[in-house]
Chains A and B, each alone.
Chain A
Amino acid sequence: METAILQVFRYDPEKDQAPYYKEYEVPVEGTLLNALLYIKDNLDPTLAFRAFCRSEVCGSCSMKVNGKTKLACKTPMKELVETWKGKPLRIEPLNHMKVIKDLVVDIDKPIEKMKTLIPWLVPDPRVVPTDPMHESIIYPEEMEAYKDQIHCMLCFSCYSACEAVADNERYRGPFAFSKAYRFQVDRRDIETAKEKRIRYAISGGLWSCVQCQKCIHVCPKGVRPAEDIQNLRGQAVKKGFTDKPGAKKLKHFVDWIYATGQINRLYLPEEVYGNKEAREKLTKAYTEMGVEVWEVPKPTKGLMKFRDIYLEILSKEDKALDLDYSHVRKIDKMVSDIFKADICTIVDKAHEEGRSSRGLISKLKGLLGGQ
């Protein structure tokens, strides 16, 4: 029978000075949970790990294999052996939580963090009948908005894999934001609670998420926390929480992409942090290296039609007013001041001359009579 070596993290804080790894030879058969049960039944009854349902429902058996978060009952041994090409498999407890014993961690901290985001329904009396004899109906179309989030089984895989938790103690954790978002899009939940959740999400690190996507990757139930976090950020801005750098970054993207088809990295530091020096510093560094500095992106051919599509989508989604038209006009003016031509002329010229991008901007300025 094919076997594999598991190097299992062992630590009993009551007895051991320090953690150590113990090797076990297990059959390559069934799931990682089967292998751990094999150890417990046949090799070493002292090994501690959590497991209950064995069928991806309870979320107890989440752990790390060679640093990667896995739900043991969902992970075939064969797949692990293939991925790691026969190398030993190092089995460790989840990150960011205190070890109680071996692979068992203390989940109190992430649970407490989650509670700060009001992950429950605060009924709106205008929607939810107060009379218990009356039904509170939810239609299938409404459920669409949170049909994945409700499957979170608190396995803490995402919490363990999270890049933001790793470097920000206050960060609530991907699952917590998904739990909160689930009620943000529930019609029965009262507006004041939604507002509060956003406030608490912001103080709980909403803008600290690095969007690495690991939470989506490791979730055994198909919940997509990184995307829920994006949705919460959008809600925060919509509700007027626009003072955070992240909100200003979003505004930069929304306005500049509409105006030119591109963002403008040269202007990001001053539009987000009010830091004009950064642009001057970068301009100087690039000039010294002989790299042409573009104050504005090369306007894309078809820009006007692109703007049409952009605005049409925003209008359909009831978001046309999210565009800051005075900012867009400023960008237009900036472009025409640089080139001494309106944006449509520049788009055409840029496309005619645009085969080579080296020196394009100075060429365009020359052609159009700009500075």
Chain B
Amino acid sequence: MVKVGFYQGCCFQGQDAHMFETMKEMFKRIDVDVVLLEETTCCGGNTIDEENRKLSYAINARNIALAEREGLDMLVSCNTCYMVIAKAKRALDTNKKLRDEINELLKEEGLEYKGTSRIYHLLDFFRDVVGYEKIKQAVKRPLKGWKVVAYYGCHVLYPKEIAVDNSDNPSSLQEILKALGAEVIDDYEGKDACCGYHSFFTDKSMTLKKLNRILGGVKKVGADIVATPCPLCFKSFDIYQTNMENPPRVPSSFLPEIMAYAFGIDKDKSGLSHHLIKVEKE
């Protein structure tokens, strides 16, 4: 049993609190014990950086320090949380002055950033720690006949210093989906486009154009569903898609949901039945 600290961010609390339970149950099937890092806060969503970068570094030094206190590596599911935390870690590891200054503040809570915990995203955790073979063995309900589009999202591939896969030609997501027994489609118009999530509250028209690009491309290749390891990309596809003028009504899935379903967890518990755009495929 591998034990890892799970960083929840904003995506596994509130309305999405049930997602952590899906995640925990899914990980149990592949012998991973995910421990919720309860005292962590929002990573700042790459928005606090607009206010002040040092504040973003401090928040995330605290988040990482909480994993270090437990002696655990940190697993992050959200692409943006992953990028923001990984960038903070790089800054803290390479800038002693910054680290010392922030540690001075963390002292108050009895915390210290040491740089001992590794930060994983779902994709490299599945590839490097769990292994594709183990995923394959856990499958109870192979996704036979499911045509699944692999959508990575930006913040696991860019910028290169924090990328978890080959940024230009990544393969981990396809490998995971293949292990689930799905037919994987990784070449479609709009596959490199941003999901538009982050511009919904800065320039909404941009989000809708992005969705049009990606989901239009997905529709054209006749896929059943889009699978993404990022809960924000998923929200853009599932929730913001309903804001489009003529929504193509393309169903989507957050990767752990579709994995849970393939591992034999039912549709309700896997979260697949909680989507605004229904997943009809059985």
Contacts and interface: CB of A to CB of B under 8 A. Distances in A.
Interface in B190-208: 192-194, 196, 198-199, 201-206
Contacts of B199: 208-211
Given A265-B15, A319-B52, 20 more contacts: A163-B210, A212-B154, A217-B167, A244-B202, A253-B47, A254-B48, A254-B51, A257-B41, A262-B13, A265-B14, A273-B204, A297-B13, A297-B14, A298-B14, A300-B41, A308-B105, A308-B108, A309-B62, A310-B58, A317-B54
Contacts of B44: 253, 257
Contacts of A209: 199, 202
Contacts of A302: 39, 109
A205 B168 CA distance: 27
Given A68-B168, A265-B10, A212 B17 contact: no
B14 A294 contact: yes
Nearest to B40: A300
Interface in B48-105: 48-55, 58-59, 62, 83, 105
11 contacts: A84-B169, A210-B199, A230-B49, A244-B202, A248-B201, A254-B48, A306-B109, A309-B58, A309-B62, A310-B58, A316-B54
A8 to B, nearest CB: 18
Given A84-B169, A234-B51, A289-B273, A306 B42 contact: no
Interface stretch (A30-38, A136-144, A351-359): A351-359
Contacts of B274: 289, 291
A253 B41 contact: no
Closest A-B pairs by Cβ, 4 of them = A246-B202, A261-B41, A357-B17, A217-B158
Contacts of A153: none
A167 B207 CA distance: 9
- Chain B interface size range: 35 or more
Nearest to B58: A313
Given A230-B50, A294-B15, A300-B40, A309 B45 contact: no
B160 interface: yes
Interface of B: 10, 12-15, 17-18, 20-21, 38-42, 44-55, 58-59, 62, 83, 105-106, 108-109, 154-155, 157-160, 166-169, 192-194, 196, 198-199, 201-206, 209-210, 213, 239, 273-274, 276
A371 to B, nearest CB: 17
Nearest to A351: B38
Contacts of B239: 282
Interface residues of A, number: 79
Contacts of A210: 194, 196, 198-199, 206, 210
Contact of A216 (B15, B45, B158): B158
Contact of A85 (B38, B50, B160, B169): B169
A322 B51 contact: yes
A268 interface: yes
Contacts of B47: 249-250, 253
